[in-house]
């Protein structure tokens, strides 16, 4: 089992895509371990996007992610990190494959609807950035054995 972090960015919230994005992960069989609607402030944005500091798009990226409420979720399942990244699609939305979230709902890199952790280290760091341990629900759904049998 893996856990990863997704954020429906301000454009996704404004466009009414929170339910659609979560639906895709849920119907794939992934489990929501935690869920919040928050406004990311500049300090949190700086910590989240620290690896991009100094890049030409950094200030625009921080302005975008802090521009409105976002929906943040911790998502669990077998190989959840890579499975979710593949469902999200390419960073440059114009290159994202149809069937992916970006490929179905976005057109540009600057408004690409969703963030998802890209590796085990970043997933652990990002889940910790947005959720306290007590926010993460450990539970089994009745359907889990039908999706990922032991
Ligand atoms: P991803 O969100 O697919 O993990 P990333 O981590 O490389 O992509 O970059 C984080 C975000 O920064 C990305 O979702 C959109 C923005 N971004 C990346 N490259 C960009 C570029 N060349 N121009 C503008 N924005 C960019
Ligand atoms: Mg990234």
45-72 tens-digit pLDDT = 999 999 999 999 999 999 999 999 999 9
CATH code at 74? 3.30.70.141
Does any domain span residue 57? yes
Q: 44: which strand partners?
A: none
Q: How many CB atoms lie within 10 A of CB 55?
A: 11
Does any domain span residue 142? no
pLDDT at 150: 80
Range of the domain at 56: 2-134
Does any domain span residue 144? no
pLDDT at 45: 98
pTM for the whole structure: 0.98
Residues in the chain: 150
pLDDT along the chain (150 residues), means of 10: 98 98 98 98 98 98 98 98 98 98 98 98 98 98 95
Does the annotation count 59 as an active-site position?
no
pLDDT at 138: 98
The domain tally of the chain equals 1
How many angstroms does the Cα of residue 52 sit away from the middle of ligand 2?
A: 9
CB of residue 84 inside a 6 A radius of ligand 1 = no
How many angstroms does the Cα of residue 121 sit away from the middle of ligand 1?
A: 18
CA dist 145 to 56, 61, 62, 83, 133, Å? 46, 40, 40, 18, 25
Q: Which helix (H) or strand (E) holds 71?
A: strand 70-77
């Amino acid at each position: 089992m893996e856990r990863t972090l997704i954020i429906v960015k301000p454009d996704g919230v404004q466009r009414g895509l929170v339910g659609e994005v979560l639906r895709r992960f849920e119907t794939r069989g992934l489990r929501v371990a935690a869920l919040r609607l928050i406004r990311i402030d500049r300090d949190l944005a700086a910590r989240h996007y620290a690896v991009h500091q100094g890049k030409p798009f950094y200030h625009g990226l921080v302005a975008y992610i802090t521009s409105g409420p976002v929906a943040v979720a911790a998502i669990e399942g077998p190989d959840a990190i890579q499975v979710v990244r593949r469902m999200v699609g390419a960073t440059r939305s114009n290159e994202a494959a149809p069937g992916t979230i970006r490929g179905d709902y976005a057109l540009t890199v600057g408004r690409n609807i969703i963030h998802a952790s890209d590796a085990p280290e970043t997933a652990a760091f990002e889940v910790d950035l947005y959720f306290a341990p007590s926010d993460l629900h450990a539970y089994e759904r009745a359907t889990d054995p039908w999706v990922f049998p032991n």
